[in-house]
Structure 1
């Protein structure tokens, strides 16, 4: 990094399609199909179908191909972590983001300046994905999903241990990809008396994790008879749509694993397990990356801008 080289204020700009780099003629996590897409991870709000060229990690491609089948992309260009590739003079490399299996921080180097896009990321330990690997950059483009000083995510292990106090069967709502696999591993390690049943839509992602070397522990596909015959210590993991459709489910304790307070309101137990950085983690990331400027996206960066104003330039890309 060099403080003598000017940062290009328009290196990444927010458009209706998403974050665009005109210098390399590519989009980061576009919301609509484009010709050149650099994709940080496989969640649907970052990885849409129909792009011509997708640059991503192998797990991200595998998850997209399962979800979108033949419409996933015309061409996948699989990149290992740390491998450098070039788009119109912009040198790009991926580093683990710690958000889910295959998630990547995107380092872009152009004319002596380093720009680091986080996608979604977390700093906490997670046995189901690669640990985050922060690198220094002149500009940090960070997600700000939970960027308020009062937001502090509790320890995921202590949260999952709450379920040990529940003898009744549990319907556990969680996103099918990433969060569900993390919960399976956490339950197996910290709630060993629980029997884990998965909604059929979650099973393929769990199997893909296993095929890529991630050991999740014991789980099985949901069987209505099994749930009926066993009135205790069953955990049935379901995606949000199923969870919301069974809001009157009887004989189960309803729990939803998320960092969002508004999604915890009507649940009998609050399970605050997030795969995003909270306020303290964002500040820790800034300290590690040592940027000259911070650009924010995915959420509101206003609180961060106010807090850092005396010391650091904070630009809100999404406002």
Structure 2
């Protein structure tokens, strides 16, 4: 029997009383099961952190000695138990080390997605589908009108100009994917990487990921070359250089409102769109869908009289 209170939304995050742990807590807790290393899912200071190796390395790089009390590293498909709940990590495809969290209790399988994507990405493990009785899915882009374009087609837009480009992207996950995409599909471009992004790139390489061609940013190089340069910067730097001259400003994101005022739109998202969510549901074959990280209202309407959809937000 599916337990309606197996996961309970709280101000701290999703709490599993049967295992006495939180999924991706927003405040410090005793036992935290972390799906991936982005800051809105992985905070510092938890006493016990259960995650993949890559996630632990990213957290330790970002938070240093405050990353967490003790890290309990688990490989994909390596089960562990918290109280009476059996847990295992399954590749989520969102970024390197990202995991779907499969929880089993009294014969019922609950699958929490964290953030995930289905698009190909040479810088992370591809998603693997497993069947579950309950799918707890993110709904960041759960809108029938949202369809993410092919990332290769998008990145090739950068070949349409010879001008230097200031390319804004999140420092972890998105930046590494972009470096590899540009390296593979924009052969004339030189990629200069902001210093704050480099430590995460090094972790990717430490984990055996081929990052392709890139260079450490050098102001002299950028000034001396007036074409075919791409300066990859994190969002804060991108916003602070609003009046940068002699560059085309581009920000890589799936959010349309963040494309406003950019001279070239680059729609590259690391989340599932509507069709990807529908495909995931078909693969997982759940009896119930619970939604989080966004609005599940349209999913609830779509599956009315077909599947039970519960909004956890």
* Same fold, judged at TM 0.5 (above): yes
C-alpha separation in 1, matches of 2:15 and 2:261: 39
Counterpart secondary structure, 1:43 = coil
Cα deviations across residues 90-149 of structure 1 (Å, max 9, x unaligned)? 000000000000000000000000000000000011000000001000000000000000
Q: CA deviation at 1:220?
A: 1.2
Q: Do residues 26 (structure 1) and 18 (structure 2) align?
A: no
Alignment of 1:277-316 (within 5 A): 277-316=272-311
Alignment of 1:184-203 (within 5 A): 184-203=179-198
Q: Counterpart in 1 of 2:127?
A: 132
C-alpha separation in 1, matches of 2:75 and 2:203: 18
Q: Counterpart in 1 of 2:103?
A: 108
Counterpart secondary structure, 1:142 = strand
Q: Counterpart in 2 of 1:3?
A: none
Q: Counterpart in 1 of 2:177?
A: 182
Q: CA deviation at 1:257?
A: 0.3
Cα deviations across residues 168-215 of structure 1 (Å, max 9, x unaligned)? 000000000000000000000000110000110000101110111000
Q: Do residues 90 (structure 1) and 74 (structure 2) align?
A: no
Specify every segment of 5 or more residues in structure 2 that has no aligned partner in the other structure, as ranges. none
Q: Do residues 65 (structure 1) and 73 (structure 2) align?
A: no
C-alpha separation in 2, matches of 1:301 and 1:317: 9
Q: TM-score, normalised by structure 1?
A: 0.98
Q: CA deviation at 1:274?
A: 0.1
C-alpha separation in 2, matches of 1:269 and 1:198: 20
Counterpart secondary structure, 2:25 = coil
Q: Counterpart in 1 of 2:246?
A: 251
Q: Cα RMSD over matched residues?
A: 0.4
Q: CA deviation at 1:166?
A: 1.1
Match for residue 143 of structure 1 among 112, 122, 138? 138
Counterpart secondary structure, 1:291 = coil
Match for residue 9 of structure 1 among 4, 12, 34? 4
C-alpha separation in 2, matches of 1:110 and 1:139: 12
Cα deviations across residues 212-233 of structure 1 (Å, max 9, x unaligned)? 1000111111111100000000
Q: Do residues 165 (structure 1) and 142 (structure 2) align?
A: no
Specify every segment of 5 or more residues in structure 1 that has no aligned partner in the other structure, as ranges. 1-5
Match for residue 121 of structure 1 among 107, 110, 116? 116
